[in-house]
Amino acid sequence: MEQFLVFVKKECLHILRDRRTLFILFGMPIVQIVIFGFALSNEVKNSTIAILDPSKDAASLQLTERFEASKYFDIQKNLNTIGDIEKSFREGKIKMAIVFPENFREDLLHTNKAQIQFISDASDPNIGTTLINYANAILGDYQNELSGQNLPYTIKTEVRMLYNPQLKAAFNFVPGVMAMVLMLVCTMMTSISIVKEKEMGTMEVLLVSPLRPILMVVSKAIPYLFLSIINISTILLLSVYVLEVPIQGSLFLLMAESTLFIITSLALGLLISAGAASQQTAMFISLVGLFMPTLVFSGFMFPIDNMPIPLQVISNVVPAKWFFYIVKSIMIKGLGFKAIWKETLILFGMTIFLLAISIKKFKIRLS
């Protein structure tokens, strides 16, 4: 036990005395949250659009006002013909055009039908569809008001954005950032720490001693376990108070699942260290072999369901995918353990499996 504690103490000293490591461990999560939360928003604001309104009646002007008031749109004033609009699209000056027909209000009142054309620049399909959605939302609101006034037989679509009514991108990013930060800290730093002993030569001396290799490996993981818990707490605090992403479900469950994922990542770190001969290799494997697939296959940036089947299958092997699902369920949807027990079990199974292999692969001799 004494051996174990002394080893953990040594690891803590190493971490505290290495400024670069400290920066990665603590600075990184904060930087990531800020960047993802604020700078890289999926929201599209202040897009320049044009409105072509030949009728200029009360209804069209009302709608136009609504569009003008929206923070998403910036109306380009001087376009009056289709030709102008086409030219602006080609020159990239506008991203969307809203075209009213002539006699908009009359059509609306007398035929109970009126058409509006939304033309969107889909060269970036994401922006294109997003803008159409915003415009539709505004139109929908307007329709609701009108229907309250004079149209009895209309089918109203009621749209509810569950869990995230404001469509805040941060809701998706926070769980994703959690997964990435844990991967980075636990997997990469643990593997580097173990490989460093090999590279520096201290591993030789440690092997020729009564210290059991398992103790060494576990005690290397412990400081990173605690650091990660601190990191998770920091991320959650930032999310709740700065990004305004609430924790709907049980905080305790969230922390417990996070701890499980931390151990999974640590086990991965151990596995990598068993195979890597130098710190550079360990870092490389961690980044390219794990970080990148995590980014792609966790579902955080790109929806898994949209991927071809083989890739969907691959994503099942990525632990972060399960963790991402679990965190979203708890944090955003406010669900309890009953909803996520299967995913938890999978994660647990992966952890045991990884631990078993890495312990088996740990070399008690030099090659």
Partner 1 sequence: MSKAIIVNNITKTYTVEKSTVTALKEVSFDVKKGEIFGLIGPDGAGKTSLLRILTTLLLADSGNAFVNGLDVVNQYKDIRKSVGYMPGRFSLYQDLSVEENLQFFAAIFNTSIEENYDLIKDIYVQIEPFKNRRAGALSGGMKQKLALSCALIHKPSVLFLDEPTTGVDAVSRKEFWLMLKNLKKQGITILVSTPYMDEAGLCDRVGLIQNGEILRIDTPEGIIKQFGKPIWAVKTNEMFRMLHDIRDWEAVESCFPFGEFDHLIFKDQKHTKKEITKYLESKHHEGIVIDSIEPGIEDCFMDLMKIED
Binding site for partner 1 (CB under 8 A): 2-3, 6-7, 10, 13-14, 17-18, 200-202, 204-211, 364-366
Q: How many residues does the chain have?
A: 367
Answer for the pair 222, 215: CB distance below 8 angstroms, yes or no.
no
How many Å apart are CA 216 and CA 357, to the nearest integer?
16
- Among residues 264, 80, 99, the alpha carbon closest in space to that of 185 is found at 264
- Give yes or no for a contact between 294 and 173, defined as CB atoms under 8 angstroms apart: no
Question: Are 174 and 29 a contacting pair, CB within 8 Å?
Answer: no
Q: How far apart are CA 150 and CA 135, in angstroms?
A: 23
DSSP letter string over 348-360? HHHHHHHHHHHHH
Beta-carbon contacts of 247 under 8 Å, excluding residues fewer than 6 positions away, are 236, 239, 240, 254, 330, 331
Select from 96, 15, 105, 13 the least CA-distant residue to 63. 105
End-to-end CA distance of the chain: 29
Beta bridge partners of 48: 74
CA 285 to CA 202: how far, in whole Å?
22
Q: What angle do CA 273, 275, 276 make, to 5 degrees?
A: 65
Alpha-carbon span 81 to 50, nearest angstrom: 10
For residue 138, which of 208, 226, 223, 49 has the smallest C-alpha distance?
49
Residue 332 CA to residue 320 CA, distance in Å, equals: 17
Give how far the C-alpha of residue 77 lies from the chain's centroid of Cα atoms, to the nearest Å: 37
Return the C-alpha torsion angle 128, 132, 135, 137, nearest 10: -130
| Contacts of residue 260, Cβ cutoff 8 Å, sequence gap at least 6 | 344, 347, 348, 351
